[in-house]
Amino acid sequence: MQVRATAIPDVVVVEPNVFGDERGFFMESWNAQAFAQAGIDAVFVQDNHSRSRCGVLRGLHYQIREPQGKLVRVAAGEVYDVAVDLRRSSPTFGRAVGERLSAENKRMMWIPPGFAHGFLVLSEIADFLYKATAYYAPEHERAIRWDDPRLAIDWPLTGAAPTVSAKDAAAPFLAQAETYP
């Protein structure tokens, strides 16, 4: 597999080795030894799967206590995936990186603890899968506004406003949000 750096060094894009022929394809989506050798030495405790329709934007979510690292990928469709650094001690605090992930390109993104995460569905539907390093803890769940001008995320919107949950629409901007040390 190949691991490609992003503009935020701790967030990386993983391009797995894919073996395909007329029957289909095979790839390892997780191999603890191979990922550790590539610098992603994580222990995952939970797998999640969501399905969303075109124009749905989920995020930007994080847990202020028991932060989750996430290895994310798309099994069907395409999304624009985003990570935002919420570590005040980091030189990239408040910066965002985004990547198109799809069933076709089979890319994955590693988002370590200390980041907010979100994605916009670009295809008719998208099945989004992610492994998490900590259990979901709703009492610690937080969100940041997806359209915070300070973040300047270049969401690939097609003109219409995205569909967001009421919780995400009411999320604070980064300046008012709880962040990590």
Q: Which residues are catalytic?
A: 61, 130
Structure tokens at 118: 């979100």
Per the document, the length of the chain is: 181
Beta-strand ranges (E) seen in 24-153 are 24-27, 46-53, 57-63, 70-76, 78-85, 96-102, 108-111, 115-121, 125-132, 141-143
Q: How far is CA 172 from the centre of its chain?
A: 19
* Cβ 101 vs Cβ 107: under 8 Å: yes
C-alpha of 30 from chain center: 16
Q: Are 174 and 151 in contact, with CB atoms under 8 Å apart?
A: yes
Q: What angle do CA 155, 7, 64 make, to 5 degrees?
A: 75
The backbone torsions φ and ψ at residue 130, rounded to the nearest 5 degrees and listed phi first, read -150, 145
Whether the Cβ atoms of residue 164 and residue 121 lie closer than 8 Å to each other:
no
